[in-house]
Amino acid sequence: MQTGHHASKRGSDLLNDPVLNKGTAFTEAERDALGLRGLLPPRIMTQDEQMLRILPAVRGKPTPLDQYIYLVGLHDRNVTLFYRLVMDHLEELMPVLYTPTVGQACQEFGRIFRRSRGLYVTADDAGRVRDVLANWPHDDVRMIVVTDGERILGLGDLGANGMGIPIGKLTLYTACAGVPPHQCLPITIDVGTDNTELRESHAYMGLRRPRLRGAAYDALLTEFVEAVQERFPGVCLQFEDFGNHNAFVLLEQWRDKVCCFNDDIQGTASVTLGGLLAAARLTGVPLHEMRLLFLGAGEAGIGIGDLVVQAMREAGIDEADARQRCWFVDSKGLVESSRTDLASHKQRYAHAHAPAESLLDAVQSIKPHALIGVSGTPQTFTPAVLQAMAAQHERPIIMALSNPTSKAECTAQQAYEGTDGRAIFASGSPFAPVTHKGRVHVPGQGNNAYIFPGVGLGVLVAQASRVTDEMFAAAARTLSGMVTADDLAMGRIYPSLSRIREVSRAIAIEVARIAFERGLAQVERPSDVAAAVAETMYEPVYHSLV
């Protein structure tokens, strides 16, 4: 899909436009008509021939970060070829472009920075955010991912360096679901950083001051959301990697007013629910009969709990009973009703129970069917915890979802060894298959990329005015329904990443259908929703410019 702004571009201007540039693939006719003769090597290559040249270049890089830098450079030169490469080799390149390599890319953002992408809105732009948004060259923006960099993955406050996350997420919107790249806009709101080491670094390119807090922060975010609605009517706004307090406040403030969602709260919840529904086919225990124990009671944990409660209610359980099946352990121990130090989002899961200081104590007393790690604290699923899970259930569900890999609560190998090969294991970052006692176990990756691209595509097709929890629950059911008997036989509770465009398409159809049925769509319902979704999906092919 082209943006229709190529008519006036010629010569080096055309070669410097990454959306329109085809490099050596410009034809003889295009070279003559567009002033390109002599500006390119004489051989005309097809896109397939270009792929044969660049794929070995990517694979030849010594580290994943070097591969990341090369791929960013390719995107900056030729968007179409970049997406062709990524879509054709998604399983291989997704860990490079997103989890886990993107975490290192954010940490080293200043050192590897080559060319600016996206928009930066800063604390100094208060009162003129509309002017900043007006500088973006594309009007037809449909998908914005925005962060303030306070809680990047499990790495904490990376300030303006967090821009790597919106860039990476939007790359997956296009690669996994075909959201057209010119309709995607990454934004970082730079309100300073409390990471003093970063502030003092010569390579840091953000505001070198402590974070803006309180009323001034709230006013800037309100101005931003309102300005976005004016500049890009009908856009979907995804909040990403905000600190816990701001994440919950922003979602509650805007979810019923504009088309928005928080992937850390709702996307993580959906992909986890999908995994639990698939795991139920292996354990024989339906979701509404499971007890769940979460390590971590922040955005991800509470988000999962809320969506699980909704799914249990749909299965006929009343809300109070459903909440009683979800238990949380935070940094101070079990979340229970005698505690007086609980933030408001934790209080609805504070059940009557004796205090338990350690995760092991909680596992032994609650006997959960599933242990879900969303703590950002590595190696917390100790051998003793895993053995306790295995002692209570034939097929314990172990989900170590914290990212990047260095923050995982346990590795796949530890999960299988700690449960004598009986664990149903999934993780946030990718792990290789594990052989235990002669049997190969293939861990599933509970990656939000199974969810948010498809949800975004469905919202875009229906031009939905809101994103609802019903859509995320439907996405989870759709995802679990695509897990095959062969997947389950390997111990995998998610489909192969190679099927992610198929998964995204199926989710988009369900999300669009809900938008049309609930009166949330701002376009007329097409006679064939599935066909409308398929037609919207971007394909990275070259179009003739003459």
Per DSSP, the three-state class of 536 is helix
Q: Which CATH number fits domain 115-258: 3.90.650.10, 3.90.1150.200, 3.40.190.10, 3.40.50.10380?
A: 3.40.50.10380
Q: What is the mean pLDDT of residues 37-49?
A: 98
Pick the CATH number of 11-97 from 1.10.3720.10, 2.30.22.10, 1.20.1370.30, 1.10.287.3510: 1.20.1370.30
Q: Enumerate the H helices of 315-358 as residue ranges.
A: 319-324, 344-347
Same CATH topology for 11-97 and 115-258: the answer is no
H/E run at residue 459: helix 452-462
Q: Where are the alpha helices (DSSP H) in 108-259?
A: 109-112, 129-134, 164-177, 196-199, 214-231, 244-254
Better-predicted residue by pLDDT, 441 or 5: 441
Label residue 7 by pLDDT band (50, 70, 90). low
pTM (2 d.p.): 0.95
Mean pLDDT of 174-192: 98
CB-based contact 173:184 (threshold 8 Å): yes
Residues marked as catalytic: 98, 169
Q: For residue 380, is pLDDT > 80?
A: yes
Contact (Cβ atoms closer than 8 angstroms) between residue 189 and residue 146: yes
198-235 confidence digits (pLDDT tens): 999 999 999 999 999 999 999 999 999 999 999 999 99
- Token readout for 211 is 């974070």
Q: What is the mean pLDDT of residues 42-65?
A: 98
The span from the CA of 207 to the CA of 192, in Å, is 5
Determine the CATH number of domain 266-449: 3.40.50.720
309-359 residue pLDDT tens: 999 999 999 999 999 999 999 999 999 999 999 998 999 999 999 999 999
pLDDT at position 1 over 70? no
In three-state secondary structure terms, 426 is strand
- Average pLDDT estimate for 433-462: 96
Residues 415 and 441 sit within 8 Å (Cβ to Cβ): no
Percentage above 90 pLDDT, the chain: 96
CA dihedral 214→217→220→225, nearest 10 degrees, is -100
Q: Are 447 and 176 in contact (CB under 8 A)?
A: no
pLDDT band at 4 (very low <50, low <70, confident <90, very high): very low
Q: Express each pLDDT in 495-525 by its tens digit.
A: 999 999 999 999 999 999 999 999 999 999 9
> Rounded CA gap, 211 and 159, in Å?
9
pLDDT at residue 288 above 80?
Answer: yes
Query: 345-375, pLDDT tens digit by residue?
Result: 999 999 999 999 999 999 999 999 999 999 9
| Domains of the chain, residue spans | 11-97, 115-258, 266-449
Locus of tokens 């995998």? 492
Tens digit of each residue's pLDDT (9 = 90 or more) over 524-545: 999 999 999 999 999 999 999 9
pLDDT-based confidence at residue 145 (cuts at 50, 70, 90) = very high
